[in-house]
Amino acid sequence: MRSPRYQARPRRPQPVRRSRYQANRTAVRKGKHGGRPPVITDDMLHTVLRRRAGGETVEQIQPDLIIPTGRRKGQSPSLSSIYRALAEHEKRKAYPDAVTAAHADFAALQQHDRSPT
């Protein structure tokens, strides 16, 4: 008789893996994806850009911004979140063709997933 440490580990049954794969494919088809929602909304970003153009610093603007949803609802976003959103905005402004191409690629991928195979 073998000792317990030499026994083979039980393997995950194949149907569980397949059903998880199918569930992920269904979520993609419905347009659902994981990840956190952004803390800085478009309205907040617009406010930050407008006030920065007026000469205010991010440190002065931060206390007036309020997170609308999520676990930190009602609190102000961190400075790093604001700076990250500003950097992302600058990147989108600098490379508008890349953003358009990414949206087109994503739409084509979704169309491919919807087609019957």
pLDDT tens for 43-65 read: 999 999 999 999 999 999 999 99
CB atoms within 10 A of CB 76: 16
What are the tens digits of pLDDT across the range 87-109?
Answer: 999 988 888 888 788 888 888 87
* Among candidate residues 49, 78, 74, the one with its CA nearest the CA of residue 62: 78
What are the tens digits of pLDDT across the range 1-32?
Answer: 556 666 666 666 667 777 888 888 888 788 77
CB atoms within 10 A of CB 62: 15
Whole-Å CA distances, 7 to 4, 12, 13, 14 = 5, 16, 18, 20
pTM beyond 0.75? no
Exposure of 10 by Cβ count < 10 A (0-12 exposed, 13-18 middle, 19+ buried)? Answer: exposed
The kind and range of the H/E element at 87 are helix 79-94
Q: Write down the pLDDT at residue 90.
A: 93
- CA 25 to mean position of chain CA atoms: 18
